[in-house]
Structure 1
């Protein structure tokens, strides 16, 4: 595997060497002090698996499970806070919150592209938020699963690269209340409330309510408005859950979710700093209402029948200042005023029926568990895009998109012996889409796709598993919606991914070290590549994105994560992702990208951390997250620089209350999360790299009370 060597890679290797060298000595010291002997580590359950009681060691794929303790200790507000804990997970900016993710270098990078066609699924409590994942606040969450690699059997077309599955806290019959508040610099304030208990006097139904409000001025200073809040965050979440045991054989679970995001968007300037000059204030709003209903019915000792229904209704507005300036800023070149507004209305309905066998219903000489299912999805999205020049509409574009997905899937888990399981799964999916717009384009393509997996998982010793998986994922074709594209660039074909993965999942050192290690090789066929062009160098709004099919690409690497419980109070955790993601055959009019790295695919990502919890209640945590540099786009050669970001947290926690002081990016590392390369500055409009910078250092205090 070939990686670029520079300062950050060298320092990373030095830190890893020192920490790994220290492990034997801490282990030896521990043996002489039984009074401080730590509790043994155990496996976590993977909520996103088809068999919902499966543990991480039983899943033959690379998966990260961030449990409630990890989310509370490592995060402050949003899923964005804990993404650095997951190897080979990246995201792209140009929105107020992470909305577009890349797993192992595969995934979308912006919302300017055409009809919804994601590579990374994003599910919250069985509700599909793929492509609009800014809704993932951390308050009252139970865990987050990140499955890496194609999930061809489980999730089909929306999980070519992997899946992010968010699960909130379940209702409890034990009545309780939680209050949480946060204050910090940059106008940061948050308040949350949750309550749970039985419904009335019932011993069969329990509820949980959660509400959370977050506000921040953002991290920009606008010198035109002389204001610090033009990039503000205003995010509200309401969630209600009911778990009802209708009878001994019927469990019904209901989730209602409202997310109301009213964020500003003022991040760009020609100087690539945190001071902006926009005279038209950007908007990044999302109002989503959704629900999911999960019914589980037991059929004697034979199988469980599971029905999962979900629906979301989302209104999304994205408005931005296209020239990033004002008349005074542009001086002699004024008036020079470009703005763009995009209104999206999305409705998404999903229905899954699943039959899951019980041990008494095994087939093939009582050695094989089985499951089968049917999946239906109906997505409707309307886009209205208006571009303005000096206040007048220069381009008006509206489109309507509808897609119906129908999938059949099945899986066999064959117990070859007591310690070895062979899993075979297959999914066939048909997607029928309809698209039309006011430029006269009217398309109705159909895609037939299939994926699946063959894997073997062997427990060679108690607590120690090895596995190998061959899987095939797929991603449907789609449309580009930009009004400036020619008709031959409007549609693109499906992409397929063949992935081979081997790994080890083990509990070592008397169950005090949890270690997961995997190696993967993926081959991409009919690879969908997002690129861009600027048709008019004097008009920044003609910088448009479109997706087309390259020939092939390959993505391979290593992933590791570990948790070492040094003693009862101190633990060492971390993760490492190594990635080589390149094009095999990709040539454009302007450049030859054969052998070049794919965009937003850093050669390495890492997390190194320590966690201290004293018997007296004092707590401290440090996380160093890092990433190699990466190409911003598949259409030019501009790169982000490597980064190393340090987060700290210290506080006191008791059974009923806790207080934490925290700092994010405490060393004030300057880094970019998105980059564009085009012309915006008159008079010559030279192509220049413009960067969306990540959050600078900021600090706060969080208090939580439980009753």
Structure 2
């Protein structure tokens, strides 16, 4: 997005906030009246008075700094295929939660089972997880690992979607890539905003961001709050209840920063929390979804509750020749849900799940200073200690089978030593070397009880996994506006225990990937056009594959798989007012050797991973306060099973937003899925070869009013 829309107040001096207008006071009063509090997603500083909304400077793309390699660098200088989405980009496109980020990145796809579901996962380049297996995608908020990836976006600085293995620097379960969400840090100047939004399906959003100095310039704070409510999109056919998937969500983030004069120390303490209370009555057969997508037949109105709390302390010390970074975090993530999973009005099958994670992580790293000449390097230690409880109850009393109960406790401890360096060999060529040693232990206590089937057994397992994860490559930078690179890297995802498997089949082995990538990043037309291209080849061994039939899950390790493809991203500042973006990715992911029982799936695609994705976007600033945004996001067909018998055909979604900024206020109108496209986000076999799933969001639209001061 063209940066001139926002003119940020300079750091290092205190700015007296404007006196709030009557509208701002009214919005604050509304905020105080709503139980729970508020937030403005990705809110940005207002345009300074006297400044045009269109910059008087040069027409060029904004410089983007990223921390993808755990040191700061310009995005065009980092030899990784990545998509960077700024907070302003997210606000301009009316992005609400994780899936809105994913749809902007090529070869990245997200599977969901309703709002903020615990069954949500991301595939990158055809590498995809399943319901019970762990993610092959690392998901981090301010450098802290999160297991539950389906969250709302709140006060975001930027998002970095890294494609390809990130195992050397990020460690466990990042064999396909990583998503880094970086939220806005406090600054020692006043920055405040309040937003009120309304929309169809009785959508209401109230939000606020407040920040500034605490006493003096060394201390500052930032508070971001958001309350979201909606009746949801689904109606229950038997009685016409139209809020069976209603949402009542609250997000909060509090930050305190200590940054004494100079850049030697930078310490930020953060509390981050989400409280989601959502309905979950949204499962229907595929035939019903295609004929009447947002009507369900159900005898149970379920719920989907999420409570996440995270406390983080990040401390950075910068010396002339090195930088020390410490990130300590303790996080709890709790999800409870009930589902009517038989997709009918009969009381046949009901599922209840309770998933609880408590996790402590510590990372300590030493790196070269930002912008230093000579080698760029980073090394460190990582510790991960997580306890998770998975409770599962499938009630099939309506079919005469009683209740199947599963209780599983897993203690996971991971320790790693890692390092990576880029060594200049000539003025234009640099050598990339990296290595991580990863050690993981899992202690699992699992118990299954299903009286109707005569099952009452328990098992205890200790599993130990060790991996050496190298990365080597070359950078070639013949000019300041062109970077080319070639890399070789190993990826890895630990094995585990599948608590829904039949007795004696619970354990599955690690999977490994060998990855080859070549790419280029070019900036041209006087910094008005950016091109990013990557070609990749992934060889998979022992791929973890799940076959799910409602209450039973079978995870096996396929013998061999492969994925190969290409990614292209373009950004063009066509004029001072017009910004155009385009991206696309294609991957040929398929099983090479995979037999399950009497079935041979060689040549088939893995489920939940389309062969291609693409995105087209345009932004226009009219120069008089008006602006407009439109994007089209598409994906190829997605199979729901390894046999490739059930699928969602290719589809595209049209989203638009237009607004007007005047003084310290903004009014915006938005519409998502403007053509009301019907599509399925997830589907699975509910027995007898009948597949049921969840329809994607219908057309939604609304208006947002924001005051900033």
Q: Please tell me whether the aligned partners of residues 154 and 251 of structure 2 are also in contact (alpha carbons under 8 angstroms).
A: no
Alignment correspondent of 1:192 = 207
Q: What is the correspondence of 1:504-653 to structure 2 with a 5 Å cutoff?
A: 504-533=520-549, 541-542=550-551, 544-653=552-661
Alignment correspondent of 2:124 = 103
Deviations 1:580-629 (A, max 9, x none): 10111011124211011121221211111211111101111110111110
Q: Give the match's secondary structure for 1:550.
A: strand
Q: Are residues 355 and 660 of structure 1, via their aligned partners in 2, closer, same or farther at CA, if it must alter by over 3 Å?
A: same
Alignment correspondent of 1:215 = 229
Q: Please tell me whether the aligned partners of residues 356 and 372 of structure 1 are also in contact (alpha carbons under 8 angstroms).
A: yes
Q: Please tell me whether the aligned partners of residues 266 and 282 of structure 1 are also in contact (alpha carbons under 8 angstroms).
A: yes
Q: What is the correspondence of 1:314-463 to structure 2 with a 5 Å cutoff?
A: 314-327=333-346, 336-358=347-369, 367-390=374-397, 394-438=403-447, 439-463=457-481
Partners in 2 of 1:230 and 1:434 — Cα distance?
A: 38
Partners in 2 of 1:177 and 1:367 — Cα distance?
A: 42
Q: Please tell me whether the aligned partners of residues 116 and 276 of structure 2 are also in contact (alpha carbons under 8 angstroms).
A: no
Q: What is the correspondence of 1:276-291 to structure 2 with a 5 Å cutoff?
A: 276-291=296-311
Q: Give the match's secondary structure for 1:670.
A: coil
Alignment correspondent of 2:692 = 690
Count of residue pairs brought into register by the alignment: 636
Shift in Å, 1:567: 0.7
Q: Please tell me whether the aligned partners of residues 118 and 158 of structure 1 are also in contact (alpha carbons under 8 angstroms).
A: yes
Shift in Å, 1:546: 3.0
Partners in 2 of 1:696 and 1:47 — Cα distance?
A: 36
Partners in 2 of 1:313 and 1:557 — Cα distance?
A: 37
Q: Give the match's secondary structure for 1:337.
A: coil
Alignment correspondent of 1:274 = 294
Match of 2:497 among 472, 475, 479: 479
Q: Are residues 207 and 399 of structure 1, via their aligned partners in 2, closer, same or farther at CA, if it must alter by over 3 Å?
A: same
Shift in Å, 1:37: 9.0
Partners in 1 of 2:429 and 2:705 — Cα distance?
A: 47
Partners in 1 of 2:483 and 2:325 — Cα distance?
A: 29
Alignment correspondent of 2:250 = 236
Q: What is the correspondence of 1:63-82 to structure 2 with a 5 Å cutoff?
A: 63-82=82-101
Q: Please tell me whether the aligned partners of residues 604 and 642 of structure 2 are also in contact (alpha carbons under 8 angstroms).
A: no
Is 1:45 the equivalent of 2:42? no
Shift in Å, 1:668: 1.1
Partners in 1 of 2:252 and 2:56 — Cα distance?
A: 42
Q: Are residues 697 and 244 of structure 1, via their aligned partners in 2, closer, same or farther at CA, if it must alter by over 3 Å?
A: same
Q: Please tell me whether the aligned partners of residues 75 and 82 of structure 1 are also in contact (alpha carbons under 8 angstroms).
A: no
Alignment correspondent of 1:127 = 144
Shift in Å, 1:494: 1.0
Alignment correspondent of 2:26 = none
Partners in 2 of 1:164 and 1:370 — Cα distance?
A: 22
Is 1:118 the equivalent of 2:135? yes
Shift in Å, 1:275: 0.7
Partners in 2 of 1:258 and 1:139 — Cα distance?
A: 11
Q: Give the match's secondary structure for 1:564.
A: strand
Partners in 2 of 1:616 and 1:164 — Cα distance?
A: 36
Q: Please tell me whether the aligned partners of residues 627 and 659 of structure 2 are also in contact (alpha carbons under 8 angstroms).
A: yes
Deviations 1:14-43 (A, max 9, x none): xxxxxxxxxxxxxxxxxxxxx999621244
Which segments of 5 or more consecutive residues in structure 1 lack a partner in the other structure? 1-34, 328-335, 534-540, 680-685
Deviations 1:178-215 (A, max 9, x none): 11121100111111111010112x21111100000111
Q: Are residues 695 and 481 of structure 1, via their aligned partners in 2, closer, same or farther at CA, if it must alter by over 3 Å?
A: same
Q: Please tell me whether the aligned partners of residues 450 and 474 of structure 1 are also in contact (alpha carbons under 8 angstroms).
A: no
Partners in 2 of 1:56 and 1:614 — Cα distance?
A: 28
Larger deviation: 416-425 or 54-63? 416-425
Partners in 2 of 1:91 and 1:370 — Cα distance?
A: 33
Q: Are residues 655 and 457 of structure 1, via their aligned partners in 2, closer, same or farther at CA, if it must alter by over 3 Å?
A: farther
Shift in Å, 1:343: 1.0
Is 1:494 the equivalent of 2:510? yes
Q: What is the correspondence of 1:25-44 to structure 2 with a 5 Å cutoff?
A: 39-44=59-64
Larger deviation: 611-620 or 455-464? 455-464
Q: Please tell me whether the aligned partners of residues 214 and 233 of structure 1 are also in contact (alpha carbons under 8 angstroms).
A: yes
Partners in 2 of 1:287 and 1:139 — Cα distance?
A: 16
Is 1:294 the equivalent of 2:309? no
Partners in 2 of 1:636 and 1:567 — Cα distance?
A: 46
Q: Please tell me whether the aligned partners of residues 253 and 293 of structure 1 are also in contact (alpha carbons under 8 angstroms).
A: yes
Is 1:310 the equivalent of 2:319? no
Partners in 1 of 2:57 and 2:531 — Cα distance?
A: 19
Q: Please tell me whether the aligned partners of residues 410 and 442 of structure 2 are also in contact (alpha carbons under 8 angstroms).
A: yes
Partners in 1 of 2:576 and 2:402 — Cα distance?
A: 65
Partners in 1 of 2:323 and 2:612 — Cα distance?
A: 42
Is 1:470 the equivalent of 2:471? no
Partners in 2 of 1:105 and 1:375 — Cα distance?
A: 28
Q: What is the correspondence of 1:120-159 to structure 2 with a 5 Å cutoff?
A: 120-130=137-147, 132-135=148-151, 137-159=152-174
Is 1:265 the equivalent of 2:280? yes
Partners in 2 of 1:646 and 1:523 — Cα distance?
A: 35
Q: Please tell me whether the aligned partners of residues 551 and 585 of structure 1 are also in contact (alpha carbons under 8 angstroms).
A: yes
Q: Please tell me whether the aligned partners of residues 196 and 207 of structure 1 are also in contact (alpha carbons under 8 angstroms).
A: yes
Shift in Å, 1:326: 2.6
Deviations 1:248-307 (A, max 9, x none): 533211111111011111111232231112121122111011011111123x43322211
Q: Please tell me whether the aligned partners of residues 38 and 566 of structure 1 are also in contact (alpha carbons under 8 angstroms).
A: no
Shift in Å, 1:675: 1.6
Partners in 2 of 1:673 and 1:218 — Cα distance?
A: 16
Q: TM-score, length-normalised on structure 2?
A: 0.86
Alignment correspondent of 1:162 = 177
Shift in Å, 1:641: 0.6
Q: Give the match's secondary structure for 1:154.
A: helix
Q: Please tell me whether the aligned partners of residues 75 and 138 of structure 1 are also in contact (alpha carbons under 8 angstroms).
A: no
Q: TM-score, length-normalised on structure 1?
A: 0.87
Shift in Å, 1:522: 0.8
Shift in Å, 1:427: 0.3
Q: Please tell me whether the aligned partners of residues 36 and 568 of structure 1 are also in contact (alpha carbons under 8 angstroms).
A: no
Alignment correspondent of 1:6 = none
